Structure formats: structure tokens, C-alpha cells
Amino acid sequence: MAIAGPGMFVARWGNAEQKARYLPPILRGEEAWSISLSEPGAGTALTDLTTRAAIDGKLCRVNGAKTFCSSASLNDHILLFCRFAPTTAGIGAVVLDRDTPGLTISKAHHHMGGTPWHELFLDDATVPVENVLFSGNAFSKLMGSYSLERTAAGAWALGVAQAAFEMARDYAKERKQFGRPIAEFQLVQGRLADMWLRLEQARWLVYKACVDADGTASRMESSMAKVAATEAAVFVTDHAMQMFGASGMSQEMPLEWMYRTVRPYTVAGGTSDIHRVMIASEILQRRFDHRPPKA
């Protein structure tokens, strides 16, 4: 996922030196990256982020705090978004090494799917100025490039949902109750039909977003793909577990893990709620300001 995530920003927006330095190890599978966007007071409202950076000659100093940074203690680099100036146009990004002076990475916390996440504390965290990917004017680029990662998240969720569906379908043909396969019971048939409907709807939205993308995906198509695929994956894995009964909830079976690992993706990368607002914004050709009016 690195080249569809943090590495994608370097590939699309980095200068020649940054591409030569960072991309070959990613493509060889030798290095992994985290991306740091969220802060305690800035989740969906990314324009509220307060972590700040200042260029001081040949150095860049970063101060602030971040949260929900996945695998930060395990990965080699962190692409961290911060503010170089007070306005939205002042948002930029810096590449931090895991052992950057002034950077403290918290102990690992865990989401329900098992992925470790960390808080980051930056007290004059100092990197060479060559590590600055954007020194401002990055917010629109961030949102445009991040759409491709959302499409990738939809494709990943689609794969998990497909696997869960196939397990449920095969189980329905093999498992017998009352002397016959449970596939002969209408409620099981209806459950399988509903699972397949959700899966196919999501599949075509993900495929369309992928086909139409040319380095970035449209906000409309990526939002539709992510919402449809992640919610389909939750629906399909949940119904697959129900068909398997008690064994489906056992940690010795993969289904309960499949459910736990897809559920957070209706939140990560933009909640399903905010993506619905973005879809409505495109439909109506209007921007919606979520902030209260100024007094």
C-alpha cells in the first residue's frame, strides 16, 4: 500500500532528488512508510491541524502532536502533514525518519482489526530542508492524491468481501441441518443473494474509479467506491459469520478477523458520513461549510 499511499505523494509531487532517494527502496519492498494526518483536535476537519513547521536555513523544525498514525514504530519513514503558515494554503508535508531527533513515538495502541497505531509528539523535531515535500499549498494536492488511496482502500475491502462471500457460499452447500444442505433454506438463499448484490454493486463502482483514474481519482468516484466497498465488506462479512453460526465467531476461523479488519475502514480515510456529504456536494455542485457562522 506504500506506493498507493505515502509513496504516491512522493511519486506525484516530489522533486527529482526526492524521487531518486525514496522511491527505489519502496518499490523494492525494502522500506515502508506511515502517513500522519490526524491530530487530537483535527480528524475529519483536517484544516484545523495545528502541528507547525518552520524552515530555518538548511533545517526544518516541526512542533506539535499527532494521533492515529498507523505502524509508526515499525515503518522507516513518516509523511507528516503540518502547517507552515496560519491559513489553509499554509498546509504542507515533511518526511520524518523514525529516529528523527525531537520525535517521540508513543507505545502501540491497537484498533479492533489489530493494526497498531501511535501518537506522535514533536518537540523541535529536526530534519534537513531536503525532507520538505510541500512548504505550503498542499491541501488541494493532498485531497486530490488521497482520493486514489481511498479507491485502493475500496479495492482492498472488495477483496476481503469476495473471500468472505465465497466461504459462505461453499459452506451453505456443504453444511447440513435437518437432513439437508442449508443452501436449500430460503432465508439462507436470501442472505446469499443480498450479499452478492452488495458485492457486485461495490465491484463496479471500484472498477470504474480505477479505470477513470490517471494518477489521481475523482473525488466523486473515489468516495462512491470507498463507501460502497467498505460498507459492502462489513455487510458481507457480518452475514457470512451469521451463516457459519458459532464457528464463524471463533478466532480459529478467519471470518471474525475479516469483519474486524474491514470495519475500521468505514472510518479511516474519511468516514462514510463525510464521503456522503462529498458525494452530495458533487451532485448539487455546491460546497457545504460545516463551521458555524461567525458572530
Q: What is the mean pLDDT of residues 243-260?
A: 92
pLDDT band at 115 (very low <50, low <70, confident <90, very high): confident
- The position carrying cell 476481503 is 160
Q: What is the mean pLDDT of residues 140-145?
A: 69
pLDDT at 62: 96
Considering only residues 260 and 9, tell me which one the structure prediction assigns the higher pLDDT.
260
pLDDT at 121 over 70: yes
The neighbouring-strand residues paired with 116 are 110
Q: What is the mean pLDDT of residues 257-261?
A: 93
Task: Report the SS3 class of residue 119.
Answer: strand
Q: Where in the chain is the domain with CATH 1.20.140.10?
A: 141-284
Task: Report the SS3 class of residue 188.
Answer: helix
Q: What is the mean pLDDT of residues 3-9?
A: 71
- The position carrying cell 502501540 is 108
d(CA 126, CA 277): 38
pLDDT band at 217 (very low <50, low <70, confident <90, very high): low
pLDDT at 236: 97
pLDDT at 100: 94
**217: its cell numbers:** 481519482
The CB density around residue 64, as the number of other CB atoms within 10 Å, is: 19
161-210 pLDDT per residue, tens: 999 999 999 999 999 999 999 999 999 999 999 999 999 999 999 999 88
pLDDT at 212: 76
Match domain 141-284 to its CATH number in 3.40.50.150, 3.40.50.300, 1.20.140.10, 2.70.240.10: 1.20.140.10
d(CA 152, CA 158): 10
Q: Cα dihedral angle (115, 22, 211, 153), rounded to 10 degrees? A: 10
Angle in degrees, CA 171, 177, 183, rounded to 5: 45
Q: Where in the chain is the domain with CATH 2.40.110.10?
A: 6-137
d(CA 171, CA 244): 8
Amino acid at 219: R
Q: What is the mean pLDDT of residues 136-156?
A: 77
The neighbouring-strand residues paired with 121 are 65, 104
pLDDT at 291 over 90: no
Is residue 57 packed enough to be buried (19+ CB in 10 Å), middle (13-18) or exposed (0-12)?
exposed
Q: What is the mean pLDDT of residues 85-114?
A: 89
pLDDT at 2: 41
pLDDT at 3 over 70: no
pLDDT at 1: 40
Q: Give me the CATH code for the 6-137 domain, please.
A: 2.40.110.10
pLDDT band at 76 (very low <50, low <70, confident <90, very high): very high
Instruction: Find out whether 53 and 83 touch, Cβ atoms under 8 Å.
Output: yes
**Mean pLDDT over all residues of the chain?**
89
pLDDT at 60: 95
